[in-house]
Structure 1
Amino acid sequence: MARPDKAAAVTALSEEFRESSGAVLTEYRGLTVAQLTELRRSLGQNARFSIVKNTLTKLALKEAGVEAQIDDLLVGPSAVAFVRGDVVEAAKGLRDFAKANSPLVIKGGIIDGKSMSAEDVTKLADLESREVLLSKLAGALKAKQGQAAAVFQALPSKTVRLAQALADKRSEEAA
């Protein structure tokens, strides 16, 4: 029979997995409490960094219905950054903190129900933020619309210039 405190912890973890858009698993061995506090602050409002027990995390993943296979990542001391919102921003925060504080090791993660390796999380962190990508897309679409408008406007103006040139030529021949 499971103890009530462990059952509550599994329920809370499974709820976090269900509600988050992504989760990044890390190893925190060697970080001080002050560094962990700094990491939590640096992740901001859209991510929550929690130290977890591996066996409870495995149970929570099954309870949450997450099909990603991350059992091999749940070895040693583990912590999870539960991300609500932009996963790229949280991955950047973790990557930058790991560069500055070598004891933090990114193991991998789960993004939209799919497991990711540490390299995949790093590649994700190299992406620009969602807002920047959307603004680039909007700029590209606006540029294409401008080009299309110029093409559509060029045809009537070329027709008018051609008609004017023909009229000028006829008036020269008549004179």
Structure 2
Amino acid sequence: MPAQANIDMLQKVTESLESSKGVFVIDYRGLTVKETQELRHALRDANSTMKVYKNNIVNIALKNAGLPDISDKLKGTCAYVFFENDPVDAAKAIKKESEALKKIEWVAGIADGKALDAESAKAYAELPSHDELVAQLVYVLAAPLRGIASVCAGPARGLVTALSQVAEQKEKEAA
């Protein structure tokens, strides 16, 4: 019969999986307590949380949740980064901290319902975030409208220029 601590941990892992859209797995070996706190804070800003669980319990929770199997990658000291919304935000936070600390290694992940190896998980950090994609879409959609507005304003602008020149010429003749 499993120990009560393991049953409780399985319940916590299951809750973390249910409340998140996916998970990145990182190797955090060598981080000091302060560095770990900084990483957790950066992840919190990206609507993500980092938890440390036993790998075999995570494997059981993944299997129970019907998520892809990444058990072959879960070896050694693993931390699990559960993201609530956009996987890109969490990946960017991990990448930023890993570049600053030079101690964090990508192990695996599950995003969009698919198992990811270390390189695929790391590639999420290179993608534009949801907000950046929306901004790009708005820019692309607004470009033709700006062109139309410019074309429509052209004749009026020409008329104003012509009337202004006529007014200047009349002033010169009157003087």
TM-score category of the 2 structures, normalised to the smaller one: 0.7 to 0.9
Q: Secondary structure at the match of 2:116?
A: strand
CA drift of 1:144 comes to 3.8
8 Å contact from structure 2 (residues 59, 69) kept in 1: no
Quote the offset at 1:148 in angstroms: 7.2
Structure 1 runs of 4+ with >4 Å offset: 145-151
CA contact (8 A) 1:91 1:125 kept: yes
Residues 126-158 of structure 1: per-residue CA shift (max 9 Å, x gap): 11221111111122122245567889x8xxx9x
Whether contact under 8 Å (2:24, 2:81) holds in the other structure is: yes
Aligned partner of residue 93 in structure 2, secondary structure? helix
Contact 1:28/1:79, CA 8 A, preserved across alignment: yes
The equivalent residue for 2:62 is 61
Question: Is the CA contact (8 Å cut-off) linking 2:25 and 2:108 kept in structure 1?
Answer: yes
1:29-67 deviation digits (Å, cap 9, x = unpaired):
11111111110011124111111111111111112221x
Counterpart of 2:5?
5
Amino acid at match of 2:60: L
Deviation at 1:70, TM superposition (A): 0.7
Give the aligned residue type for 1:101.
Answer: L
Gaps of 5+ in 1: 158-175
Instruction: Say what the alpha-carbon RMSD is for the aligned residues.
Output: 2.0
- 1:18 Cα deviation (Å)? 2.0
Structure 1 residue 20: deviation in Å? Answer: 0.7
Q: Which TM-score applies when normalising by structure 2?
A: 0.79
- Which residue identity does 1:117 align to in structure 2? D
Alignment match, 1:119: 119
- 1:47 aligns with 48
| Cα distance in 1 for residues equivalent to 2:123 and 2:105 | 15
Report the TM-score, using the length of structure 1 for normalisation.
Answer: 0.79
1:18 partner letter: E
| Unpaired stretches in structure 2, ≥5 consecutive residues | 156-175
Q: Distance in 2 between matches of 1:148 and 1:96?
A: 41
Quote the residue 1:140 is aligned against: 140
Describe the SS at the equivalent of 1:23: strand
Q: Distance in 1 between matches of 2:79 and 2:42?
A: 16
In the alignment, is the contact (CA less than 8 A) between 1:91 and 1:121 conserved in 2?
Answer: yes
Which residue in the other structure is 1:74 paired with?
74
* Structure 1 equivalent of residue 30 of structure 2: 30
Q: Is the 8 A contact 1:49 1:80 kept in 2?
A: yes
Q: Say whether residues 1:88 and 2:88 are aligned partners.
A: yes
Identity between Structure 1 and Structure 2 (%): 33
Once the two structures are TM-superposed, the CA of residue 125 in structure 1 deviates from its matched residue by 0.4
The residue identity in structure 2 corresponding to 1:108 is: A
1:97-138 superposed Cα distances (whole Å, 9 cap, x missing partner): 111222211112100221112211222101122111111112
| DSSP-derived class of the 1:24 partner | strand
